[in-house]
Amino acid sequence: MADHLSKHNISISHTYYYPVSIANWEGSLPSIDEEMTRFPCILVIINGSGLLDLQEQQYELSRGCVMLWHNSHELKVSTQLHTSFKGTLISYRCLTSDGIQPNVLKHPEPLRNCSLNILSLTAELERASKQLSERKPFQFQQLFVELLAVLYDELEGQQQKNNAWMEQVLHYVDTHFHEDVTREQMATIAQVSPEHFSRAFRRHTSQTFSDYLALLRIRASQNRLLYDMPKLEKLAQEVGYKEGAYLSRKFKQLVGLSPTAYHQKKKRVVALNSNHTACLLALGITPELGVYSSWMESVNPVNPLQKLYEFGINTSSFYNTIASTRPDLIIDYYTVKGSKELLPLAPVLGLPFMDMSWREQFRHIADVVERQQQVEEWLAHYDEQIWAFNQKLDQQLGKRGTAVLWEIGTSSAYSIHSSHGRGSQILYEDIGFRPPGSLLKHGIEQRGFVEEEIEAIADHPADHIFITGIPSNPGTKKRMKRLFQSESWLKMEAIKQNRMYLIEQPDLFYGYDPLSSQAQLHELMRVLISQK
């Protein structure tokens, strides 16, 4: 029994549960001593059926239902019961030896179709309460704790069931919001009553179903308006409304502006990663809030009030910090969870990771903030630098050959593909090197990177080897020293030809954006041209 409870985090070493009142309920609510009303209670329906009104909510009860309350004060009920209706009402106490708030069984809805084990234990507990035996003084307590443990299992199962249908419903609404979606349809999918669906949906999302649906539709409208201004009738039909006038009214209620005004206004933008912050900075826009890499901060000082910290901050503070800027647009890499959590604040432009190069992301963001001319001018200047550097490499190296760039972690080494950046986009896309065949065999193109033991770097020979930094960890430094002194390392052609380049700038090579790419290009060219 102790093991059964401990797996549910009910610590019997510090918390004691015991019943203080067990009463039958047949036709009317049993009278409860005033002293008992402050205790949590359990109602188990043994037979019959009926309707129960509790705190302005009506529930249909039948055999096998269990209701749980925090305290008996809440038992202000009226009932419409069949003559066969019978229930058992149990009040109990929780005592802790360390002052910690005890676990109390609570659930806002009836637990339905509970196991026969609960009915059996309840009946046995009721009989034991009338026949307390001096020879078995702990039998009564043992039965009650066993009942609590089984009820806790039922609660867990109910929660899993609720989560399953709720996730199914949310996925459907998120992908079909532009259709004629109703509460009744969703309740049918969930196989619950519309009333139960509404209560459960609000508890799970903190919104009514209609408000949630309206939020999805208006945010989709805002995302559409980032690019052009379609006719309102067309836009309304795209997002699930029948009339443009209705869309305009709902839009203004949520956004505070008309669709036309939102389309035309200069957007207050928040960037949730350093790559997209850099895209905005390269276009001459400082975001209201942005994530900055340490390299970006070393190049240009950042106003602390405009810096968003990714780590070391709890979810609530992160959300409130973003909310305080009143953003018109949030930009990030796409994640379902992140997009949904931030949707109440503003539309989220989620860009796919690995599926778009930094140039494509740069252009996409420029379209949204109406900086198309600036982005093309920036990229044209960047391409001029690439052309000039390639001219120099043609003279010095001729044919490029293979190259590999290693990022050294505390315990592993990583070779990054150009889809992940880290300087590889410069090597493979801009200045014409190729990944060594061994990395291609290891699936670097499909996975985006290859992870190896530090000593295994020597298993991937290339004409040019770049290492962007060695961690300060003493153990990692020792492993790198052993690698550099190993026979397999020293016999590689790149080492013999002095074509291994140690660049101690890991922060610079972390970025995958226009500013970082430009700086990475200059750094790679510096070591390639200066080292003969």
Q: What is the DSSP string of 205-258?
A: HSS-HHHHHHHHHHHHHHHHHTT----HHHHHHHHT-S-HHHHHHHHHHHHSS-
Torsion region of 191: left, alpha or beta (phi above 0 gives left; psi -120 to 50 gives alpha): left
Whether the model clears a pTM of 0.75, i.e. scores above it, the answer is no
**pLDDT at position 236:** 95
Q: 219, 347 in Cβ contact below 8 A? A: yes
**pLDDT tier at 531 (50, 70, 90 boundaries)?**
low
DSSP character at residue 63:
T
Digit-coded pLDDT (tens) for 348-383: 999 987 788 999 999 999 999 999 999 999 999 999
More confident residue, 146 or 288: 288
Superfamily of domain 383-530 in the CATH hierarchy = Nitrogenase molybdenum iron protein domain (3.40.50.1980)
More confident residue, 115 or 409: 409
**pLDDT tier at 7 (50, 70, 90 boundaries)?**
very low
Q: Which of 39-48, 200-209, 314-323, 505-514 has the highest mean pLDDT?
A: 505-514
Q: Where are the domains of the chain?
A: 2-140, 211-264, 269-368, 383-530
Query: Mean pLDDT over residues 415-420, rounded?
Result: 86
**pLDDT tier at 388 (50, 70, 90 boundaries)?**
very high
Assign domain 269-368 to its CATH architecture: 3-Layer(aba) Sandwich (3.40)
Identical topology for domains 269-368 and 383-530: yes
**pLDDT at position 317:** 85
Digit-coded pLDDT (tens) for 254-297: 999 999 999 999 999 999 999 999 999 999 999 999 999 999 99
Res 145 pLDDT > 90: no
Query: Mean pLDDT over residues 445-452, rounded?
Result: 87
Res 303 pLDDT > 60: yes
Of 48-52, 196-200, 219-223, 436-440, the range with the lowest mean pLDDT is 48-52
**pLDDT tier at 8 (50, 70, 90 boundaries)?**
very low
Beta-bridged to residue 89, according to DSSP, are 23, 43
Q: 421, 512 in Cβ contact below 8 A? A: yes
Specify the 3-state DSSP secondary structure of 120: helix
**pLDDT at position 88:** 86
| Residue among 408, 309, 295, 416 at smallest CA distance from 354 | 416
The sign of the dihedral angle between the CA atoms of 255, 257, 261, 264 is: negative
More confident residue, 101 or 150: 150
Superfamily of domain 211-264 in the CATH hierarchy = Homeodomain-like (1.10.10.60)
Burial of 175 (0-12, 13-18, 19+ CB in 10 A): exposed
Strand order in the sheet with 77-81: 57-62, 49-54, 77-81
Of 13-17, 92-96, 368-372, 428-432, the range with the lowest mean pLDDT is 13-17
**pLDDT at position 6:** 46
Digit-coded pLDDT (tens) for 453-490: 999 999 999 999 999 988 888 999 999 999 999 999 99
**pLDDT at position 259:** 95
Specify the 3-state DSSP secondary structure of 151: helix
Q: Which of 127-136, 334-343, 431-440 has the highest mean pLDDT?
A: 431-440
Beta-bridged to residue 60, according to DSSP, are 51
CATH 3.20.20 applies to domain 2-140: no
**pLDDT at position 10:** 43
Q: Phi then psi for 167, rounded to 5 degrees?
A: -65, -35
d(C-alpha 18, C-alpha 9), whole Å? 17
